[in-house]
Amino acid sequence: MKKIFISSDHAGFKLKEDIKKLLKSIKLNFKDLGPVNDNRVDYPDYAHKLAKKVKVSKNNVGILVCGSGTGMNIAANKHKNIRAAQCFSTKSTKLSRLHNDANIITLGSRLISKKKAFEFIKIFLNTKFEGGRHLKRVKKI
């Protein structure tokens, strides 16, 4: 069974809370790793916390939200077996799963709308890795 973890920094807090409502509405279980409010925090702390949870199992996935999506992406990708993808379009989101077997999506709350974030999350959670020629490349990571 797929486990979903979600986290943000202060800039992504509101969008994270909205995403939690989406996940509840489509009856998906998730674990919120914080923060609990929009007080200023350091995004690497939350990216590392989530990456450590995701890498425990191939079935785990994560959602990270910060202002741009970039900081969370950089921090999460420091972990072995993490393939975090900063998604900014439906195509980038779909390809991150199909070709790269991304296990974390990072989103920029200052760059995309709530509607787009919801769309990207649904694509991310419902798209399967193609494997095949892409598996060889992913293994090189």
Rounded to an integer, what distance in angstroms lies between the CA atom of residue 88 and that of residue 107? 7
Q: Whose structure tokens read 């990270």?
A: 64
Annotated active-site residue in 66, 79, 87, 134: 66
Single out the residue of 86, 29, 79, 73 nearest to residue 55, CA to CA: 79
Return d(Cα 15, Cα 17) in angstroms, integer. Answer: 5
Would residue 87 show up in a list of annotated catalytic residues for this protein? no
d(Cα 121, Cα 40) in Å, to the nearest integer?
A: 25
Is 10 a catalytic site residue? Answer: no
Say which of 48, 79, 99, 134 is annotated catalytic.
Answer: 99
Q: Quick check: 7 and 16 in contact, CB under 8 A?
A: yes
Evaluate whether 14 touches 7 at the Cβ level (below 8 Å).
no
Name the 3-class secondary structure at 36.
coil
Q: Which residues are part of the catalytic machinery?
A: 66, 99
